[in-house]
């Protein structure tokens, strides 16, 4: 690479917009592309690469830090400004749900085991709900709540406890949050000293708490339900969106700086639009609704999986979808030879699939809705070409399948 080409690459680096970490990754990508085209010029490339790396570091330093934590808080993740390679997530589900006899009107069940990729893990989780499974998936594995307010995680190995008294339970609102990408899992601390005011950010890959921010508006008089005033809703990049249960507006917390502000629909939409692993649902990308896509319902129309604007089982309204990472239209189709016609009269008509996990930036997992409350076959679909294949067949017999980020049967 000669001097003029190096200067051209430097000028292109200055055109990269966005956050420092995004700019760094983009410039590195451009460097890599230039190096591959000139592999034969090994010596020249080595010298040019060193020069450009220095340029990139200068760009990042000029951009400045995004903020500081409070002096008495844990430091931010060491790699918060230099993203690590994105993990490929494992499919998480359970076919081991059984009812527990009881006298209460609230359904009571036990999830004995979950499947994390190709590993079967015993968790013995009691579930007291029909609307939210207290289980999330982050880059480091599955994170779930137990009935005693403890939080646990597993990467496919033996589960271990990561919180002792969180504002979590297994009733209507689990209190756990995680993003479609990234290592963070979040919850509120409900120990007597915090009383629901401290938002905890846990790195599931590093295996440690990396941030804690106090939100006075979330403090409750009683750390037990229904004293929880806030619960995490979305984790997007370095932002955690928080619902204030009653009353008040939703909040957004910048994890790195600790800044807290109102969470407007416009801010959430902009955040989703600025990251991969999100969908725009609508007839065009400009006016469509931004969503993380979990869960997003797709209706079977011929051989196509068509996204819907509403997942009400009485009416499926077809729409279009666009990938926020690439801007491309999402056109998924059933696997070759896959039987989509319902043969069981108890199944929902028309058939549908629910997107429940992003495995990487261009790969998603969808579960077939065998009924309005239970799932069957799991498909893995590739957004780039729309190709889908059966990854996990429906359970045999009368087993009930649950998949991550969705709801238990009831």
Report pLDDT digits (tens) over 32-86: 444 444 443 443 434 444 443 333 334 333 333 333 343 444 545 544 444 555 6
Q: What is the mean pLDDT of residues 134-159?
A: 96
Instruction: Locate 410 and state its tokens.
Output: 């009831």
Q: What is the mean pLDDT of residues 97-112?
A: 83
Q: How far is Cα 310 from Cα 185, in angstroms, rounded to an integer?
A: 28
pLDDT computed for residue 264 by the predictor: 93
Q: What is the mean pLDDT of residues 168-181?
A: 86
Sequence-distant (≥ 6) Cβ neighbours of residue 40 within 8 angstroms: none
Domain coverage including residue 22: 3-63
Encode pLDDT of 361-394 as tens digits: 999 999 998 665 579 999 999 999 999 999 999 9
Determine if the pTM surpasses 0.85. Answer: no
- Flag whether pLDDT at 354 surpasses 80: yes
For 112, 136, 251, 343, 408, the CA distances from 132, given in Å and listed in that order, are: 17, 11, 21, 29, 7
Domain count within the chain: 3
280 against 55, higher pLDDT: 280
Asked if residue 72 belongs to a domain, the reply is: no
Tally of CB atoms within 10 A around 156: 17
226 against 96, higher pLDDT: 96
On whether both 185 and 232 belong to a single domain, the answer is: yes
Torsion 192-149-254-203 (CA) sign: positive
Contact 266, 241 (CB under 8 A): no
Instruction: Locate 104 and state its tokens.
Output: 């209460």
Measure the CA dihedral 312/313/317/321, to 10°: 80
pLDDT computed for residue 314 by the predictor: 61
Model confidence band, residue 342 (pLDDT cutoffs 50, 70, 90): low
On whether both 162 and 310 belong to a single domain, the answer is: no
On whether both 252 and 175 belong to a single domain, the answer is: yes
Average pLDDT, the chain: 79
Q: How far is Cα 380 from Cα 332, in angstroms, rounded to an integer?
A: 10
On whether both 227 and 105 belong to a single domain, the answer is: yes
**Tokens 């998949």 belong to which residue?**
403
Instruction: Locate 141 and state its tokens.
Output: 């594995």
Q: How far is Cα 365 from Cα 382, in angstroms, rounded to an integer?
A: 9
On whether both 233 and 152 belong to a single domain, the answer is: yes
Instruction: Locate 390 and state its tokens.
Output: 């059966």
Model confidence band, residue 143 (pLDDT cutoffs 50, 70, 90): very high
């Amino acid at each position: 690479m000669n001097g003029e080409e190096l200067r051209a690459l430097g000028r292109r680096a200055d055109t990269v917009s966005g956050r420092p970490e995004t700019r760094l990754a983009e410039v590195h990508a451009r460097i890599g592309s230039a190096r591959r085209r000139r592999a034969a010029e090994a010596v020249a490339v080595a010298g040019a690469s060193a020069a450009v790396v220095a340029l990139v570091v200068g760009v990042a330093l000029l951009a400045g830090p995004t903020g500081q934590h409070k002096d008495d808080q844990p430091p931010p993740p060491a790699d918060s400004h230099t993203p690590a390679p994105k993990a490929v997530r494992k499919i998480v589900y359970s076919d081991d749900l059984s009812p527990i006899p009881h006298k209460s009107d609230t359904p009571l069940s036990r999830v004995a085991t979950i499947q994390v990729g190709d590993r079967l893990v015993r968790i013995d989780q009691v579930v007291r709900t029909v609307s939210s499974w207290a289980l999330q998936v982050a880059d480091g594995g599955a994170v779930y709540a137990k009935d005693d307010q403890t939080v646990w995680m597993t990467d496919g190995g033996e589960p271990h406890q990561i919180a002792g008294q969180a504002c979590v339970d297994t009733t209507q609102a689990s209190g756990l949050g995680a993003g479609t990408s990234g290592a963070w899992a979040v919850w509120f601390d409900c120990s007597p000293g915090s009383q629901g005011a401290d938002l905890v950010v846990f790195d599931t890959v590093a295996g440690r708490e990396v941030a804690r921010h106090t939100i006075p508006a979330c403090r409750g008089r009683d750390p037990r339900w229904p004293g929880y005033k806030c619960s995490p809703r979305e984790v997007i990049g370095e932002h955690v969106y928080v619902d204030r249960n009653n009353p008040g507006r939703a909040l957004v917390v910048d994890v790195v700086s600790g800044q807290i502000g109102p969470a407007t629909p416009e801010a959430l939409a902009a955040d989703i639009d600025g990251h991969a692993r999100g969908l725009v649902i609508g007839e065009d990308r400009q006016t469509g609704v931004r969503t993380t896509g979990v869960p997003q319902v797709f209706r079977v129309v011929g051989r196509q999986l068509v996204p819907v604007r509403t997942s009400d089982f009485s009416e499926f309204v077809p729409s279009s979808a666009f990938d926020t990472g690439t801007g491309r239209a999402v056109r998924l189709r059933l696997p070759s030879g896959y039987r989509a016609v319902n043969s069981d009269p108890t199944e929902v008509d028309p058939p549908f699939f629910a997107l429940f996990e992003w495995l990487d930036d261009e790969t998603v997992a969808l579960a077939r809705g065998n009924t309005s409350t239970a799932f069957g076959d799991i498909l893995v679909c590739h957004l780039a070409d729309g190709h889908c294949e059966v990854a996990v067949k429906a359970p045999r017999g009368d087993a009930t399948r649950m998949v991550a980020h969705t709801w238990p049967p009831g």
